[in-house]
Structure 1
Amino acid sequence: MENKQGYDPSEFEEDDYMTPQPDQNSIRGYRIVIIILSVILVALSALYYGIHRQQMRDNELLQADRDSIQSDLGRLMTDYDNLQISNDSISANLTIERERADSLMTRLKKERSWNLAKIKQYEKEVGTLRSIMKSYVRQIDSLNTLNKKLIKENVSYRKEISSANLRAEMAEEKAAELDNKVRIGAVLRARDISLTALNVNSREVTRVKNASRLRVDFVLAANELAEPGNKAIYVRITSPDGYVLTTEEMPTFEFEGERLSYSAMREVEYDNTKDLDVGIFYTSKGFTAGTYRIQLYCEGRLIGQAEIAMR
């Protein structure tokens, strides 16, 4: 009877078996891909966050360094303003250095592109200005101490002369001897300092921009109180823009407990009984017109300086 109604059990079971089933391997593969992509996304997000945070930290450090440099320079400018000196030569040099500090402050305030290299450059320039100021402070203190000593000794001599006329002649001779020693000193002195521009053939040129060498000429004055013998003389040439001209090796010498860079040096045989003409050469290129500052050092002392305008 079932066959008559058209029901075939075998046909129903065959249709049920042919229904499509999900591919388990494909689903597992999709899940693995999704997990890998999620891990990569998390790693990239962490990396971006770390880089962004480091950049913010670096910017904060650069800003802090900039503020520190400006603060140091401001204090240095105040220190320059507070220096009082009656010596015309030192006073003029202090004015020049104060103007350099003003110029540096202007550059600092206008600077917009900050990086580690520029921070180091500005720190070096501020350090140079501070070293120069310390040198002038020492000179001023030395002059003040010497003046106080001379005043005290002169007062003492006057009292001796007032109290004992018989000792007047001896006191005057001793005072004259002391004044003479103070004037001459026991150190070397350089005078008649000049600066000459030379081309590649060592011939003088009128325009410093055409020069390949600079020659510093001076006279090492005779001084019987100084020790004769072999002397190493260092010359520092400061360009119109305020930088000390030096070689790639950036050699230095010691001056009052600090290391100073120099442009060139020469050893000479010094006879303390007569003047000695000396010339020292500095070779480079790219010289600019303006006022050059020459400083000469020997045996840890500043023995002469001058400012020379070059066309």
Structure 2
Amino acid sequence: MENKEDNKDNKKNNSSISILITLLVFALLGAGYLFYSNMQLKDQLADCSSMKQDVQQERDRVVGDLENMLVKYDSLDTDNDSIKTQLEEEKARVKELITQAKNNEWTIYKLRKEASTLRDIMKGYVKTIDSLNTENIELRAKNAEVTQKLTETEKRNENLETEKTELEEKVKIGAKLNALNMVSFAQRSNIMGTMKETSRAGRAEKIKTCFTLEKNDIAKEGERNVYIRIISPNGQVLAERTDESNMFEFDGTKGLYTVKKIVYYENRELDVCMFWDVKDELDEGIYTIEAYADKMKIGSTTFELK
């Protein structure tokens, strides 16, 4: 009876031990699984941390690339207003992308793609501006060459103008008429009504001036205004009027004339006589008579009244 009791107890003990062993095995298996799972999670966490660090580093590189791109945009310089406006727009896009990248609003893929697009656009502007600058350099060189040629041409023209002026002056001098054998004297009328020469100031009724215009083949053929100025001993020009209507231009100035006569010159010798009627009694002394044509003095002479 006791053996049966003991056998039952042994069986219970053996069963309990088996259960404990089974539970222990399961516990060990669970602990191993948990340990393995924990290790996997740690590895995954490490991988995620590394990946996050790599992503951040890549983001920082792209941001740095964008910031360098912005510096490059700032260095681009052009006089083209249209390109300047486009450059400002692209700079604004780069700044906006940098801000969004720093705020983690873009994935690395999209960030790289947008940065690459902006970089290509910038390269296009660099090429365009370099081309424009090259063209500007060439244009400036051409302008300098044209300016130099223009200066040389202007200088040649100035020289030609000077030569022309000198030649015209020579032609003018060469074409100048000269009064040859110029004589002038006072006249009075006798009882027969004939005019005779007189040296008496109180008897002078007219002043006669005669000369011969010499032959000159260079001079222009045609009508000439010939002027006589009779200058009294006190230096005054004898004239009927003293206003503008009795003046003419000569030797770069303007002055009174005593008498004027229109003659027709045919490039050969031409005898000319001119008369002035005395209005008031003349003073005693030496009178100077000057002849002018083509605004130049062509001859002079003197006579004396007593």
The two structures have a TM-score, normalised by structure 1, of 0.42
Task: Tell me which structure has the larger Cα radius of gyration.
Answer: 2
If the length of structure 2 is used for normalisation, what is the TM-score? 0.42
